[in-house]
A and B are shown apart, each in its own frame.
Chain A
Amino acid sequence: MFDQYTESVLIFMLINVVLALSLYLPVSAGLLSLGQGGFMAIGAYTSSYLTVTFAWPFLAALVAGGLAAFLVGVIVGFPALRIKGVYLIILTMGFGEIVRVFFLNFERTGAASGLGGIPGHTTLPWLIAVVAVLLAGFWQLRRSRMGRAIAAVREDELAAEIIGINLTRVKIAVFAIGGALAGLAGGFYAHYASFIDPAQFGFHRSAEIFIMVLLGGMGNFIGATLGAVTVTLLPEVLRFLQDWRMTFFGTLLIVMMILRPWGLVGARR
């Protein structure tokens, strides 16, 4: 249908959409994370280890990767109950770093030399289906009880608690489900890239996901999706600049924040 280059760009774009949504979910409850790369690594490593070593079917491995990231998300979610704002951002950064160092030393998954020979199961139809389901889910969530609870927690925690919203449940749920989505994206990523190493999931990755959501605007999930598309396509469009494209990308980021400090589709609140 597409040539290989277009297909790979589309696949990375859709994976990025899943990653952006994985961060948007906690963000919509006011919880910012700069450690989403860590969840992605957990999903990527878990699912690839299962397919490579135990020849698990793709779907089962993918789910297992998401589940592993979900469980870790529950654990990371607990500190998020007490720790807020900038403290939380840096704490999650630390979490991402811990995950990276863990896989850098974990012999069973190849440590620093990485894990290779991962079967290439990720295809475009798979990803289109997943993204479609996710977008529909986020659309539904907006108007649901849970969606309103999340918005209430973001706007005013204390008031939300007073009207009977279970803060603990909402916060841990958004953090863990967000983690699970990042883990899922990691599984897709690994089964397309066919080789993973810890360096791919470091601070750079977390920052990239962060940029997608903030560039798109934190107001709604469409913004996050748009941010993901922009962040994927920009470096491709800038390819003609060759060696200087990342410099240009960084500059563009600054300029965009100057021109549209509320994000591409962000609403002024």
Chain B
Amino acid sequence: MLEQQVLNGVMLGSTYALIAIGYTLIFGVLHLVHLAHGEVFMVGAFAGLMAVRFAGGDVFMAIVFGLAAAAAAGALVELLAIRPIRRRKGHSLAPMISTIGVGIVLQEVVARTFGAEQVGFPHRMEATSWHVGTITVSSVQLLILGVSIVLMVALHLFVTRTRLGMAMRATAESASIAHTLGIRSERIVLLTFVIASALGGAAGVLVGLSFNAISPFMGIDMGIKGLAAMLLGGLGNIYGAMLGGLIIGMAEVLSVAYLASSYRDAFAFIIMIAVLLLRPRGIFGSLHHVEG
């Protein structure tokens, strides 16, 4: 039984990790808690659903569409709701309020367009499942794991091996020094939003496939858990976010299996608070990036 639970925890955790990476990228570069990231995730899920429903696409179409739609949404959020505020150098929390506004708008627009009810993917795409000893693995689970790993490895390579990735790290380290060195920080910020949102959009489709239910209001739950995962790993740390996602996913699955299942959503936060009491800056946290 335990092996099965661990496997389920890793699956769920890898989607949390994808969301947490998005939060952490944006926080690292902008020092902004993007409170509409959960809604961008939701937009990705709906775009994936549309691709399957109207274009008759398969799972990969859904992921590509979800990813692209979320990336576009993320870019729009940055251009319309973040950049103008940063230009005016207002209160450091003004962009955060603005993202709450963005979250409301995205939720409402999707709810008005597609209805406020939960919808599912047309046919359950969980075609096959395999039994390995005591463990059952479905194709959707393998897909989630595969796509998550591919995306995370791609991000790792991008951040460490490319010039743009380097520029992104430099901007995260110090925006002003990066600017002096000739890095065009405006572009880097936009790029960060696009990458973060694309990862969130892919996670949206994966979660939609695995629970077979998406709704305009799913962003809040997932968003809060993604934030908790980012916090666990330490703000602005990509690998911390991956680990944080796994821990939150694992905690959730194990608490359902061995403790009271109805408290699953609280358990993740209890773990988060416990870790923060021991390490106030998260597992990989440093002294940087503390003040919002």
Are A79's CB and B292's CB within 8 A? no
Minimum CB–CB distance from B193 to chain A (whole Å) comes to: 15
Q: Taking CB as reference atom, which chain B residue is nearest A84?
A: B290
Instruction: Give residues of chain B (214-255) contacting chain A, Cβ–Cβ below 8 Å.
Output: 220, 224, 227-228, 230-231, 235
Are B108's CB and A246's CB within 8 A? yes
Q: Taking CB as reference atom, which chain A residue is nearest B35?
A: A207
Contacts of B127 in A (CB 8 A): none
With A90-B33, A94-B272, A97-B269 as known contacts, state yes or no: A257 contacts B97, CB within 8 Å: yes
From B94, B112, B260, B290, give the contact of A87 (CB < 8 A): B290
What class of interface size applies to chain B in its complex with A? 35 or more
Asked if B265 is an interface residue, CB under 8 A from chain A, the answer is yes
Contacts of A203 in B (CB 8 A): 220, 224
Minimum CB–CB distance from B9 to chain A (whole Å) comes to: 19
- Measured CA separation A251–B31 after assembly (Å): 22
Contacts of B112 in A (CB 8 A): 243-244, 247
Are B276's CB and A211's CB within 8 A? no
Asked if A137 is an interface residue, CB under 8 A from chain B, the answer is no
Are B262's CB and A79's CB within 8 A? no
Interface window among A60-68, A182-190, A260-268: A260-268
Are B85's CB and A257's CB within 8 A? yes
Q: Residue-by-residue, is A147-167 near B (CB-CB < 8 Å gives 1, otherwise 0)?
A: 000000000000000000000
Asked if A42 is an interface residue, CB under 8 A from chain B, the answer is no
Are B88's CB and A254's CB within 8 A? no
Are B80's CB and A254's CB within 8 A? yes
Are B88's CB and A258's CB within 8 A? yes
- Measured CA separation A90–B20 after assembly (Å): 13
What class of interface size applies to chain A in its complex with B? 35 or more
Instruction: Give residues of chain A (62-108) contacting chain B, Cβ–Cβ below 8 Å.
Output: 79, 82-87, 89-91, 93-95, 97-98, 101-102, 104-105
- Measured CA separation A105–B263 after assembly (Å): 7
Known: A84-B290, A101-B265. 12 other contacts (CB 8 A): A93-B224, A94-B228, A207-B100, A210-B100, A214-B94, A215-B97, A246-B104, A250-B108, A253-B100, A254-B102, A257-B98, A258-B88
Q: Can you list 16 A-B contacts (CB < 8 A)?
A: A82-B277, A85-B292, A87-B280, A94-B228, A98-B266, A101-B265, A207-B100, A214-B93, A249-B101, A250-B100, A250-B101, A250-B103, A254-B102, A260-B90, A262-B94, A266-B91
Contacts of B273 in A (CB 8 A): 79, 91, 94-95
- Measured CA separation A19–B292 after assembly (Å): 23
Contacts of A79 in B (CB 8 A): 273, 276-277
Are A262's CB and B272's CB within 8 A? no
Asked if A202 is an interface residue, CB under 8 A from chain B, the answer is yes
Interface, chain A (partner B; CB < 8 A): 32, 79, 82-87, 89-91, 93-95, 97-98, 101-102, 104-105, 202-204, 207, 210-211, 214-215, 218, 243-244, 246-247, 249-254, 257-258, 260-263, 266
Q: Taking CB as reference atom, which chain B residue is nearest A82?
A: B280
Are A250's CB and B104's CB within 8 A? yes
Asked if B256 is an interface residue, CB under 8 A from chain A, the answer is no
Contacts of A266 in B (CB 8 A): 91
Asked if B150 is an interface residue, CB under 8 A from chain A, the answer is no
Contacts of A90 in B (CB 8 A): 33, 227-228, 230-231
- Measured CA separation A155–B273 after assembly (Å): 26
Are A94's CB and B262's CB within 8 A? no
